Amino acid sequence: GDSVTQMEGPVTLSEEAFLTINCTYTATGYPSLFWYVQYPGEGLQLLLKATKADDKGSNKGFEATYRKETTSFHLEKGSVQVSDSAVYFCALSETFSGNTPLVFGKGTRLSVIA
C-alpha cells in the first residue's frame, strides 16, 4: 500500500540555519502531497501542499517541490527561527478517492536554538 518515509529526528539547528527535512513516498498512482506542522501542545495544521508533479508548495518561508521521478517531497527553509520549533509530518492522499484518510509519515521533530 501507499507509504511515506521521513528522515529520523530530532533535528537541532541554530537560528538562521538552512533546513531540509527529507520525505519520500510510495504510491500506486499520482497522489497529492502535504506537509503538516504540529506546535507543542497543539493539533496538526497544514503547512503546504502540492497536487501534481513539479508543483511547488510554499508557506511561511517553507517550500517543497513534488518530484515524481524521485518520489520525493522534501521540506526546505532558508533561514529557520526559534518559532519554527515543532514536529513536521509529510503526508499523501491516494489518487482514487478523496474519502480515504491521508497517509502520514512518523514525523520529524525540529528544535531551533537561538
Partner 1 sequence: NAGVTQTPKFQVLKTGQSMTLQCAQDMNHNSMYWYRQDPGMGLRLIYYSASEGTTDKGEVPNGYNVSRLNKREFSLRLESAAPSQTSVYFCASRPTSGGTQETQYFGPGTRLLVL
> Contact residues for partner 1 (CB under 8 A)?
31-32, 34, 36, 42-46, 49, 51, 89, 93-95, 97-102, 104-107
Least Å from the CB of residue 53 to partner 1: 13
Alpha-carbon gap, residue 19 to 12, rounded angstroms: 10
71: exposed, middle or buried (C-beta count within 10 Å: 0-12, 13-18, 19+)? middle
5, 103 in Cβ contact below 8 A? no
Least Å from the CB of residue 52 to partner 1: 9
Task: Dig out the grid coordinates for 94 from the structure.
Answer: 491516494
Least Å from the CB of residue 15 to partner 1: 26
Q: Which is nearer to partner 1, 32 or 64 (CB)?
A: 32
Cis peptide bond N-terminal to 40, omega within 30:
no
Least Å from the CB of residue 14 to partner 1: 25
Q: Which is nearer to partner 1, 16 or 54 (CB)?
A: 54
Q: Which is nearer to partner 1, 79 or 100 (CB)?
A: 100
Q: Which is nearer to partner 1, 17 or 63 (CB)?
A: 63
Residues 9-22, buried b or exposed e (16+ Cβ, 10 A)? eebebeeeeebebb
